[in-house]
Amino acid sequence: MTNLIDLTIAEARDKLAAREISATELTGAYLGAIEAANKDINAYVAVTADVAQEQAKASDAKIAAGEARPLEGIPLGIKDLYATKGVHTQACSHILDGFKPEYESTVTQNLFNDGAVMLGKLNMDEFAMGSSNETSYYGPVVNPWRRAGSDVALVPGGSSGGSAAAVAAKLCAAATASDTGGSIRQPAALTGTVGIKPTYGRCSRWGMVAFASSLDQAGPIGRTVRDNAILLQSMASVDAKDTTSVELPVPDYESFVGKSVKGMKIGIPKEYRLDGMPEEIEKLWQQGIAWLKDAGAEIVEISLPHTKYALPAYYIVAPAEASSNLARYDGVRYGLRVPGDDIVEMYENTRAEGFGAEVKRRVMIGTYVLSAGYYDAYYLKAQKVRTLIKQDFDQAWENGVDAILTPTTPDAAFAPGEITDPVTMYLNDIFTVTANMAGVPGMSIPAGVNKEGLPLGLQLIGKPFDEGTLFQLGEVIEQAAGRFNAADWWSK
């Protein structure tokens, strides 16, 4: 018999519908896998076994009654920044100690309405600020992948490091994640998984712990392109509770998987070729180009001239918005409170103890760039540069380009503590941050391994609300590249 945790969402869905397996068995298999592996991987910060078993039982009843919904009985991990009613929700920060919301985020509610099962809450960088999952209050996540012949631990990327590691180690069928500058795509690339950041406004942000409101977007991490399409279908919605939720019907994403890409025009931006980039990344990129060409797509060189300014502009916009969003953590309404002689000292003590070093750094930068006299020099200028970045993409679409192909990251997974300089860490997002700045969708698909056997990803960037095309092209890459599984050392 097949191991239940090896099934993709699409496979599990078929077996559940055919009553070959039950939702209770499937959930039980994942809970067992988590029990065995979480001490090594540290992907889950809270396991909700009781909730999961109850939901699975309800799913079995639905299936028996012939009323199965799209995600009936599919066990998912939920990133800790989604508000889940009565369940641990802290964005992996000390400052939200003990917080259990009285409400459910729109995205998780959508998933539950479609029959999904929640296995627990997933580790992440504190408030989604990080590229290695080292800033979590709950400790770092360990990447299931290791360098060939080595047992040195590697980071899974971040901020959705728990989501990516849980998917790669088969501790959930798929996971929710979120992406402000690359937090879905970079960890997906570093763990051999597939992740998509949809267009800004496609998924409701209601009930997601806010980091940078003009950039944050929900999305899935899964094992295959098809599983991503299935999950995004349920996560996306039009929501009156989020004014930036866009009034557009959600297309049938899965119907794009497997469609021909013949005649599509794929842009290759020359600005994504960096000095000092490993040769393997360039090789992978050329391989991706060859696969799409073989599938009948037309390859064109394009220019996105403001690419190099996306990251510096991001490090003004994101901290500025974060400093404003994180002002709410003051020890009054929820979470940690550290007493002081007066109320201001209470605020200062609470925030000093409750925030980690990276969060403090970004709140400080944000406060500085928004402070009197500096607004025009920093924030306003960054927002103008952002217009130019978006115009670069608009120009490409006007020239008939259907999607853009780039590497996802400048390199493979690294070891914890290997990158200590904040700016060097930020460079991990150099290829992904442009899509956030322009609001366009981006997807990472595993496409190969480096000489040490570590996975590398290719990124597809699409037109606003054209996620369907990304699933279409992503499937071509997945079919050509095959799927990538880490050698199991964690389940013993």
Partner 1 sequence: MSVDLSTVKRVARLARIKVSDAEAETMTGELNAILGFVEQLDEVNIDGVEPLTSVVEQSMKKREDGVSDGGYADKVVVNAPASEDNFFMVPKVVE
C-alpha to C-alpha distances, 191 to 157, 316, 454, 465, nearest whole angstrom: 8, 29, 8, 26
Binding residues for partner 1, rule CB under 8 A, total 74
Instruction: Please say which residue, 61 or 364, places its beta carbon nearer to partner 1.
Output: 364
183 catalytic? Reply is yes
Q: What is the CA radius of gyration of the chain?
A: 21
N- to C-terminal Cα separation, the chain: 19
Q: Which residues pair with 82 in a beta bridge?
A: 208
Question: What beta strand segments (E) does 57-108 contain?
Answer: 75-79
Instruction: Please say which residue, 70 or 340, places its beta carbon nearer to partner 1.
Output: 340
Choose, from 22, 79, 444, 463, the residue flagged as catalytic.
Answer: 79
Contacts to partner 1 from residues 100-139, by CB under 8 A:
100-102
Determine if 87 is a binding residue for partner 1 (CB under 8 A): no
Choose, from 159, 160, 204, 234, the residue flagged as catalytic.
Answer: 159
Residue of 36, 57, 99, 287 that binds partner 1 (CB under 8 A)? 99
Instruction: Please say which residue, 72 or 466, places its beta carbon nearer to partner 1.
Output: 466
Instruction: Please say which residue, 156 or 356, places its beta carbon nearer to partner 1.
Output: 356
Closest distance to partner 1 from the beta carbon of 128 (Å) = 18
Q: Which helix (H) or strand (E) element contains residue 322?
A: helix 310-325
Contacts to partner 1 from residues 413-432, by CB under 8 A:
421-423, 426
Cα(73)–Cα(63) distance, rounded to whole angstroms? 9
Instruction: Please say which residue, 422 or 453, places its beta carbon nearer to partner 1.
Output: 422
Residue of 36, 46, 246, 289 that binds partner 1 (CB under 8 A)? 246
| Residue among 242, 5, 7 nearest 107 (CA) | 242
x/- map, 198-237, partner 1, by CB under 8 A: -xxx------------x-----------------------
Give the pair of three-digit tokens for residue 342.
């007066």
Closest distance to partner 1 from the beta carbon of 129 (Å) = 13
Q: State how beta strands 455-462 and 442-449 pair.
A: antiparallel
Closest distance to partner 1 from the beta carbon of 201 (Å) = 5
CB distance 168 to 144 below 8 Å: yes
Q: Which residues pair with 46 in a beta bridge?
A: 121
| Residue among 73, 246, 106, 107 nearest 176 (CA) | 107
Cα(77)–Cα(229) distance, rounded to whole angstroms? 17
Instruction: Please say which residue, 296 or 312, places its beta carbon nearer to partner 1.
Output: 312
Contacts to partner 1 from residues 308-367, by CB under 8 A:
308-309, 312-313, 315-316, 323, 327, 330-337, 339-349, 351-352, 355, 360-361, 363-365, 367
Contacts to partner 1 from residues 170-199, by CB under 8 A:
199
Choose, from 183, 237, 245, 444, the residue flagged as catalytic.
Answer: 183
C-alpha to C-alpha distances, 473 to 132, 165, 168, 259, 466, nearest whole angstrom: 28, 24, 22, 9, 12
Q: How many helices (H) and strands (E) does the chain have?
A: 15, 11
Determine if 271 is a binding residue for partner 1 (CB under 8 A): no
Contacts to partner 1 from residues 368-397, by CB under 8 A:
368, 371, 374, 377-378, 380-388, 390
22 catalytic? Reply is no
159 catalytic? Reply is yes
Query: Three-state SS for 308?
Result: helix
Instruction: Please say which residue, 59 or 84, places its beta carbon nearer to partner 1.
Output: 84
Closest distance to partner 1 from the beta carbon of 374 (Å) = 8
Those residues whose C-beta lies under 8 Å from the C-beta of residue 353, and which sit 6 or more positions away, are: 94, 336, 338
Q: What are phi and psi of 474, to 5 degrees?
A: -60, -40
Residues annotated as catalytic are 79, 159, 183
